[in-house]
Amino acid sequence: MLGAGSLGCLWAARLARAGVAVQLILRNPARLAAYQRAGGLTLVEHDQARRYAVPGQLTDDASPIQRLLLACKAYDAETAIASIAPRLAPGAELILLQNGLGSQEAVAAQVPQARCIFASSTEGAFRDGTAPEGEWRVVFAGRGHTWLGDSQDDTPPSWLSDLQRSDIPHQWSPDILSRLWRKLALNCAINPLTVLYDCRNGGLSDHATEVATLCAELDQLLQRCGQPAAAANLHADVQQVIQATAANFSSMHQDVALGRRTEIAYLLGHACATAQHQSLVLPHLAALHERLRHYLDARGLPSH
């Protein structure tokens, strides 16, 4: 497991609990020492905390890697993979858990010898920085599902049974790109506006025309990218998500509120870059990107 953060620890704890051999790969000796001082990782589920002594190792460990879960943020994925690329065994398999699009293709290009499986997850976890174990304590905040797929080869990997016995709800999905595009489109229609209007998801009911215009442009983009299934009923789905999650702050809103870097480049940025690449003019989406970039710049947060 490279990227021992919220989602990575959530996966590692459940795999370890089921007896699947898993190790955390940490970026430097200081991080490894901090992890070892914490005595393992702690998963909080249904208000019950349990510690798992998952072994830790460094990126430059000598052992070959046959199967790697990459669970860092999209903007860290290429650097993280470069740090372990020489360790990948022939025919190694990578599971890429990044949100958005763009980082997966970049990682796959870096390691052509490996099979890259893309994942899209609706599970939710966060690190509980207030606990004595600090960042090695992860709270399982939202049950969900994970879709996994390989757009080059739709043969399901044999280790899906490991996920089954680890109680990680999942499904092999030959149309994983469609799922990733759909999630990206939902994100583009909701998250940037919640940041710009500084509101909960439900606050977008006051901006219904703007949301509808964005959905129409996202529909055009998905059609042009050969993803008509990802475009189907997008606007209705966006409205439904806004209603169903009215009381929530979007993940991008939370990141900005906490002064954390967002994954904008792999969400709205990727949508706009793809439109440009396709010579598709989407003025409202482009203007939204520009407004969001200015907003982040003004707060000293990366806008790319």
The catalytic site residues sit at 183
Asked if residue 71 binds ligand NAP (CB under 6 A), the reply is yes
For 175, residues 6+ apart whose C-beta sits below 8 A from its C-beta are: 149, 229
Sheet of 146-149: strand order equals 65-70, 88-96, 115-121, 146-149, 170-172
Binder to ligand NAP among 1, 15, 22, 125 (CB under 6 A)?
Answer: 125
Task: Output the smallest distance, CB 109 to ligand NAP, in A.
Answer: 18
Asked if residue 5 binds ligand NAP (CB under 6 A), the reply is yes
Task: Output the smallest distance, CB 266 to ligand NAP, in A.
Answer: 8
Q: Give the nearer residue to ligand NAP in terms of CB position, either 5 or 202.
A: 5
Q: How far apart are CA 206 and CA 119, in angstroms?
A: 33
Q: Give the nearer residue to ligand NAP in terms of CB position, either 51 or 261.
A: 261
Task: Output the smallest distance, CB 61 to ligand NAP, in A.
Answer: 12
Asked if residue 99 binds ligand NAP (CB under 6 A), the reply is yes
Q: Give the nearer residue to ligand NAP in terms of CB position, either 2 or 221.
A: 2
Q: How far apart are CA 203 and CA 207, in angstroms?
A: 8
Contact 304, 270 (CB under 8 A): no
Q: Which stretch binds ligand NAP (CB under 6 A): 13-21, 70-78, 150-158, 220-228?
A: 70-78
Q: How far apart are CA 251 and CA 169, in angstroms?
A: 21
Binder to ligand NAP among 13, 80, 177, 288 (CB under 6 A)?
Answer: 80
Asked if residue 83 binds ligand NAP (CB under 6 A), the reply is yes
SS3 call for 225: coil
Write out the DSSP string of 11-37: HHHHHHHTT----EEESSHHHHHHHHH
Nearest in space to 93 (alpha carbons), one of 62, 120, 64: 64
Residues that bind ligand NAP (CB under 6 A): 2-8, 27, 31, 59, 71-74, 76, 79-80, 83, 97-99, 121, 123-125, 127, 263
